[in-house]
Structure formats: structure tokens, C-alpha cells
Amino acid sequence: MAATLGTACAVFAGTNVDDVVILTVLFLSARAKGRPRPWQIVTGQYAGIAALVVVSGVAALGLAVIPDRWVGLLGLVPLALGVRGLVAALRASGGADPPSTPVATGVLSVASITVANGADNVSVYTPLFRTIGPAATLLTVVVFAVLVAVWCAAGSWLGSHKTVVEFAERFGHWLVPLVFVGIGTLIVLESGVVGRLIALL
């Protein structure tokens, strides 16, 4: 049991370390713009991780929900949200007030970002679930659920740190969308999906 707990913690931390950055950005947006609300961030994060776990569980049973070669297309979700935020920032650059449109506005968009950013998690969770058995898998899922709360708490704390908040108030309308554009671009490029799309043309 101790080994399963240790493995679950290590796997979650290793595959979701970048989620702390995303959660911090989302909580900053919540404080600066009022959207998404904190409960929407937490709910969306749980929904996104749950979706990844379900897909991994199904894949572990030998059923491919999304072909691995096309998973990288999910990176278009944060990329599109980031581009939308940058367009809003550019349109407002001539005025005195920063744009009021947040990158993510609710549970669905937060969940979508979580799934897109964690698309590669499926390749780690699937073989894990396939080899550890039902009881250990259930314990692993429970550990994941607890650690999602820890991750959200960390993001909320970082997003309320005075220095971070002051920086975000000055540059947040550029920083937040840039982070999402960067994340989406990395997901798409590292997956190799661009080359596969070009090959189809």
C-alpha cells in the first residue's frame, strides 16, 4: 500500500507540475477580473483530471478513445483561448483600461484547459492502470483526488501573493494569454501532430 501511495504521488506530481502555473494564472484572473470564480477553477480542475483518468482507464482496458497520434490537437484549446486574450489586449492597448475579458470564464473552459494540458498524462496513466490492478488503481485515483485539492490550494496561494498580484495587475492582461499561447503551442509542437497534418495534405 505504501508503494502504491508513493507511486501515485510521484506520477501525479510528475505529470501535473505545470498545472500549478495554470492554476496560479487562473486564480490571478479570478482576483483581477472576477472570472472564472474560484469554485469554477476547482471544479474545472477536478473535471479535467477526472476526464483524463477515465480516458486512461478505458485505454487500459484496451479501448482507444482518442488515437495517440492526434491527442496533440487538444493543445489548440489553450492556444485559441490565449490568442483570444491577446486580441482583446491588443484592441485595448490604445485605451486606458486593460481588457476585461478573461482567458477562461467558467467550469467548461477550465476543464478544457486541464484536459488539453494533461493530454500526455494519458500515456503515463494508461500503462500504470493496466499493471497495478483494480484495488491499487482505485487507491491511486483517491490520491489523485486529494492532490488536485493540494494543487488548487497552491495555485490559490501563489495567486494571492502580494508580489505576484501586483505584477499581474500591471501585466496580467498580457501575461495570462501569453502563458496559454505558450502552453498550447508546446502541446501541439511536442506531439508531432503538425507534421502528421502536413503529411495528410
pLDDT in tens, 140-174: 999 999 999 999 999 898 877 767 666 655 665 67
Q: C-alpha 154: how far from its chain's center?
A: 14
Domain count, the chain: 1
Q: What's the whole-number average pLDDT of the chain?
A: 78
d(CA 24, CA 37) in angstroms, rounded, equals: 13
d(CA 196, CA 201) in angstroms, rounded, equals: 9
Mean pLDDT value across residues 39-44:
93
Give the number of other Cβ atoms within 10 Å of residue 183's Cβ: 23
Domain that holds residue 55: 2-200
d(CA 10, CA 16) in angstroms, rounded, equals: 10
Q: Dump pLDDT digits (tens) for 59-87.
A: 777 755 556 566 667 677 777 877 887 88
Q: Dump pLDDT digits (tens) for 119-139.
A: 667 777 887 887 787 888 899
d(CA 29, CA 187) in angstroms, rounded, equals: 22
pLDDT at 39: 93
